[in-house]
Every structure is written in structure tokens, then in C-alpha cells.
Amino acid sequence: MSVTHTLVEADVLRGQDPELADILLGELARQSTTLQLSAAENYASPAVLAALGSPLANKYAEGYPGARYHGGCELVDIAERLAVDRARALFGAAHANVQPHSGSSAVLAAYAALLRPGDTVLALGLSYGGHLTHGSPANFSGRWFDFVGYGVDAETGLIDRDQVRALARSHRPKAIVCGSIAYPRHLDYAFFREVADEVGAYLIADAAHPIGLVAGGAAPSPVPYADVVCATTHKVLRGPRGGMILCGAELAGRVDRAVFPFTQAGAQMNAVAAKAVAFGEAATPAFAAYARQVVANARVLAARLAAEGLAVTTGGTDTHLITADPAPLGVDGRTARGRLAAAGLVLDCCALPHGDARGLRLGTAAVTTQGMREAELDRIGALLAEVLRGAADTVGARAEVRELTGRFPPYPG
């Protein structure tokens, strides 16, 4: 089944709403002819997209399998049980909740399960790569909880463990959050567990980024260490946009009640079914090979960017994610992102461990799904630097990107 068929099923959409059909097909063309180097994005499989676009989207299903508010849930109950069982098996977790609508919803539910408004929480500061839900004043987290931020060493870019321990001792938080939108290295979950135990805090791992690598065995798992693991299903994991929570049996009831009825009502059963499909895919040897290749590709890309003169945070990566300062090439992060987008290299800006300047955040999940390997990633790194230096003109770079994506279509056929 080709993805075009899924998007514009039997031309129904084109016949009824050509304006919207043009937007969907235009977006497919954009995703197929530019390089998706955002660390947060990937290409879900046609099977995942088929589940998302299925009649399960019509079904209301408040509650949990076997205990629904609505009638007619026999089949969606089976889909949700399948998703839960596959998630538990994939991550070796006693309990999984697959209903959170997003990564942020999963974090909200984790806080709701463990905390009361006004509680103190220790998390990576936003200027060092903490997520909005880790205490931003613009987010519920910063409004309802008293967040204390730890940081990274300005020189090495690595988490400042001494600071984590000292802040935990002095603030006695109710919970410690480990997880980031931009940290390129593996987290030492055993260290965070030790500190949490020392001060009597819950440990919440927000593994939105690395969870797909964990599924493929290419990153350490937070499951044995954290009280609650929050995750997204749409990054390296390659599932539908959505969230998930993993925990031990003793917190299962609190977590479930925190998702429904505390923070959400009807689950999106099409997304739940699509998560089941993605967990099934992630359990295969092919996905393990994919996860390893994602990291190998990121290492090559990081090394090329460093060789071209960008300041790569922490000197490299253990994961799918790289952050780098383009300033040594004479361009700031925001300008660089715009210039690269014009050339067909799509990526994000991010905070840097030193100073106020914005850097670049890149990831290799999507291009690896397309089948690109070390040689292509090395060339992408060189092309990126040529564009920033002005050594490659935008039109020429765009043509090269088109040629490359033509050889590695995200949805062949």
C-alpha cells in the first residue's frame, strides 16, 4: 500500500475537498524532497498511517478495556489490550498506559499521579534542554509546581552531577525529572535513582526522545530505575503522534486514574491502534538494526560537523540527536536554520549550554528510515557547512538535496 493511497483514499478527499487534498499531497511532496533533520520527527510506516486513518477514529472509548463508559467497545478494547501488552513486552515494564494524547499529556499525568500543586520538582533547566513541561513559566508545570533547575557544565555540556546532588539535598524535591529535548548523551539513570533515593524523591524519566532507541536496544532503558517513564511514540519510535507511560505495578492504578479521568476523557482509539502497530514493528530485528544505524549515522554526522568547524555540544553524540553552534562559521543559529531550510535541510534551533546564542538541533531518525547510511550522512554534514559558509549556493544545494531524497524516498512505490 503506498502512502499516497492512504492519504487520498480512492481519491475521495480530492473529489470532495480538492483544496485540502492539495495541502496533504503538497506536504507529502515537501517531506519527500527535503531532508527532515529535526531530531523530533520521523516517517511513520504506511501501516501506522493506515491505523490512524481507520474507522477507529470514529469510536468513543472513555475508560479502560472492560470498563468503558461507552457501548460498542469490544473491538477497540482488543486493540488497546494489544497495544498495552506489546508496550509492556517491548520495554519490560509491569504496566503501560497508551492513552496519553501527547508527550506533554503523559508528563502532566505523571505529575498528577505523584505530586500535589506546590510540590518542589528538580529538573533540567529549560535553558539547558529541559522541556516546557519541566517547569516553564508559560506551561502548567511552572505554574502549578515549584521547579528547581539543574544544568550542564558550560565546558563539557555534560549534566553537572555535583549540582544535581547538591540541589536535591538542599531542596528535598518530591520528584526528580531526568530527560531533555536536546541532550545528546545517554542519561545515567542509576545516578538519578541514587540521588532520588537519598532524598526520598520520585524519579520521573521523560524519555520522549530516546525511547525508540531503547526499544531497539541502542540506548539504556530507564524502566528499571524510574518510578514512572513518560514517552512520546512519534520520534525515533516511528509511531503515531502520541504519548505513553510505563511504570511498576504498585503505581499502575494511580497512573491510570491520572490519565483518565483526571487529565483526559475519551482515548483516541485510532492512535492507540497505531501505537500497537508501531510497538509490533519496534519489536522486530529490523527495528533493532534501524536503531543502531540511527546512532551510527548521528555519530558520522556529528564528526563531519565538528570537522567542518561547528562547535558540537559534548563533542559528539550517543543518540539520534546532535546540537551544535554554527557561530564559528560566522552565522548564528536562527540565520543558519533559515538558510538551511531554503536549501532543503530542515532542522530546529535550540539552546546552547553556554551563553544566550541559539544553536542548531539535528537528528537522524527520519533520514535513517529513508535508508541513508554513513556515506550520505557524511555528505549531508559537508553540504550543511558549505551552505552556511556560502560555499554552496542555495539553488545548487537544493538540487543536490532533491537528487539525494530521490534516491531515498521515504515512501517508495
* Residues in the annotated binding site for (6S)-5,6,7,8-tetrahydrofolate: 126, 130-132, 250
Q: Which is nearer to ligand PLP, 86 or 131 (CB)?
A: 131
Q: For residues 2 and 90, give the distance between their C-alpha atoms in angstroms, rounded to a whole number.
A: 27
Q: Which is nearer to ligand PLP, 40 or 343 (CB)?
A: 40
Torsion, Cα of 363, 292, 206, 338 (10° steps): 0
Query: CB of 373: closest distance to ligand PLP in angstroms?
Result: 26
Per annotation, catalytic residue among 59, 80, 202, 206: 206
Exposed e or buried b per residue across 88-125, where buried means at least 16 C-beta atoms within 10 angstroms of its C-beta: bebbebebbbbbbbbbbbbbbbbbbbbbeeebbbbbbb
Contact between 361 and ligand PLP (CB under 6 A)? no
181, 205, 271, 336: residue in contact with ligand PLP (rule CB under 6 A): 181
Query: CB of 391: closest distance to ligand PLP in angstroms?
Result: 33
Stretch that binds ligand PLP, among 82-90, 179-187, 195-203, 313-321 (CB under 6 A): 179-187
Per annotation, catalytic residue among 59, 68, 235, 358: 235
Q: Is 119 a catalytic residue?
A: no
Q: Is 206 a catalytic residue?
A: yes
Contact 293, 285 (CB under 8 A): no
Contact between 173 and ligand PLP (CB under 6 A)? no
Q: For residues 306 and 325, give the distance between their C-alpha atoms in angstroms, rounded to a whole number.
A: 10
Which residue's beta carbon is nearest to the bound ligand PLP? Answer: 103
Contact 56, 80 (CB under 8 A): no
Contact 25, 8 (CB under 8 A): yes
Q: Which is nearer to ligand PLP, 124 or 372 (CB)?
A: 124
Grid cell locating 79: 486493540
104, 319, 323, 370: residue in contact with ligand PLP (rule CB under 6 A): 104
Q: Which residues bind ligand PLP (CB under 6 A)?
A: 40, 102-104, 107, 131, 133, 179-181, 206, 208-209, 232, 243
Catalytic residue IDs: 60, 62, 206, 232, 235, 241
